Amino acid sequence: MKTSIFSLIFKEEPLEKVIPLVKEIGYDGLELWGKAPHFPVDTTVKRAKEIGALLDAHQLVVPAIGAYVGDFSTASDPECEKALEEVERYFQLMDYVGCDLLRVACGGPHAFLAQSYHYEKALYWIKKCGVLAKEYNKKIVMEIHNGSLIETVEAA
Residue 38 located in a structural domain: yes
**Sheet holding 139-141: strands in order across?**
4-6, 29-33, 65-70, 101-105, 139-141
Rounded Cα distance between 9 and 29, Å, is 14
Residue 115 located in a structural domain: yes
**pLDDT one-digit tens code per residue, 36-54:** 999 999 999 999 999 999 9
Residue 90 located in a structural domain: yes
Average pLDDT, stretch 30-38? 97
Specify the pLDDT at position 59: 98
Residues 87/69, Cβ–Cβ less than 8 Å: yes
Residue 122 located in a structural domain: yes
Confidence of residue 155 (pLDDT cuts 50, 70, 90): confident
Residue 155 located in a structural domain: no
What CATH number has the domain bearing residue 17? 3.20.20.150
Residue 149 located in a structural domain: no
**pLDDT one-digit tens code per residue, 85-134:** 999 999 999 999 999 999 999 999 998 999 999 999 999 999 999 999 99
Residue 89 located in a structural domain: yes
